[in-house]
Structure 1
Amino acid sequence: MKTSLLVYDGSNSVFRAAAEAATRRVDGIVAVRWGADPIQAFLEAQFDSRPFAFILVEDDSVHVGTETVGRVLSRMGLAAPLVAGLKRAYAAGGGPFGRLVHGRTVADLDGTFPLSAAAAAHLTDLRRVREIPVEEAPTEEP
């Protein structure tokens, strides 16, 4: 199995901590901030846009939205009924939650998509990295 990439909103410390906790509990998943340049290039190649979404790239599939929630929680070993309930909660509350907490609308994109060859080319280097920092590097003031 190739290293899976969990694409998440890294602008909030709570989400960074959640991504770090999830990736510590599951082998073979690394967290990558949605705003990272390589991820933006990947999104453009995969979707012809840069949708703001919770994404899991797993082998040759790209899971988005509720499918990401389900895949990650299942890989964490949670019981199927709990996973199903959390997927329903994400489907119902993800949009309003995104606007309130993220300050932007989550893309109206959900499901599993085949990984395009053009998008896969952007992931080669990311999948070789053993650890991708969950936190953003501090920026210097001019």
Structure 2
Amino acid sequence: MKQSLLVYDGSNPLFRAVVTAATRRSEEIVAVRWSSEPIQAFLEAQFDARPFAFILIEGDSVHVGEETVERILCRAGLADSIVDALKRTYAVGGAPFGRLLHGRTVADLDGTFPLSAEAAAHLTDLRGVREIPVEEDR
């Protein structure tokens, strides 16, 4: 199975801690900052844009927004009722929360999309490592 990549906003210490906790026990998923150059190239190839969103690249699918929330929480083994509640919270609060905490609005993009061949080419190197170094924003 190809290694999954979790794309998140690494500029906030709280989110770095949450994502680290969510991925530390898994060898199947690696966290990658949204602002990293390889991810920006991937986004441009996949979406013809660089949407600011919570993204999970899993196999040959790209999950965005609520779908990412659901898949990560299900992997963590949370009850369906908790997963559903947190998905609804993300749907309602994602945009204002993004503006407040990230200084930008989360893209209005949710769902699962097939991974394009052009975008997949940007992932080969990322999926080949066990840990992706994270550089602090300056």
- State the number of aligned residues: 138
How far did residue 136 of structure 1 move? 1.8
Contact 2:11-2:136 within 8 A present in 1 as well: no
The 4+ residue runs of structure 1 with deviation greater than 2 A are none
Alignment-mate amino acid for residue 58 of structure 2: E
Question: RMSD across aligned C-alpha pairs, in angstroms?
Answer: 1.2
Q: Runs of 5+ in structure 1 lacking a partner? A: none
Q: Runs of 5+ in structure 2 lacking a partner? A: none
Aligned counterpart, 2:66 = 66
Residues 73, 25 of structure 1: alpha-carbon distance in 2 compared, 3 angstrom cutoff: farther
What secondary structure is seen at the aligned counterpart in 1 of 2:5? strand
Aligned counterpart, 2:110 = 110
Q: How far apart, in 2, do the equivalents of 1:99 and 1:59 lie?
A: 30
User: Per-residue displacement from partner, 1:59-110 (whole Å, max 9, x unpaired)?
Assistant: 0000000000000000111111111111011001000000000000111101
Residues 13, 45 of structure 1: alpha-carbon distance in 2 compared, 3 angstrom cutoff: same
Aligned counterpart, 1:12 = 12
Q: How far apart, in 2, do the equivalents of 1:110 and 1:119 lie?
A: 18
Identity %: 75
User: Per-residue displacement from partner, 1:30-73 (whole Å, max 9, x unpaired)?
Assistant: 00000000000000000000000000000000000000000000
Alignment-mate amino acid for residue 80 of structure 2: A
How far did residue 26 of structure 1 move? 3.3
Aligned counterpart, 1:81 = 81
Aligned counterpart, 1:136 = 135
Alignment-mate amino acid for residue 136 of structure 1: E
Alignment of 1:38-77 (within 5 A): 38-77=38-77
Contact 2:63-2:110 within 8 A present in 1 as well: yes
How far did residue 138 of structure 1 move? 7.2
Normalised to the residue count of structure 1, the TM-score between the two structures is 0.93
How far did residue 132 of structure 1 move? 1.3
Contact 1:10-1:136 within 8 A present in 2 as well: no
Normalised to the residue count of structure 2, the TM-score between the two structures is 0.96
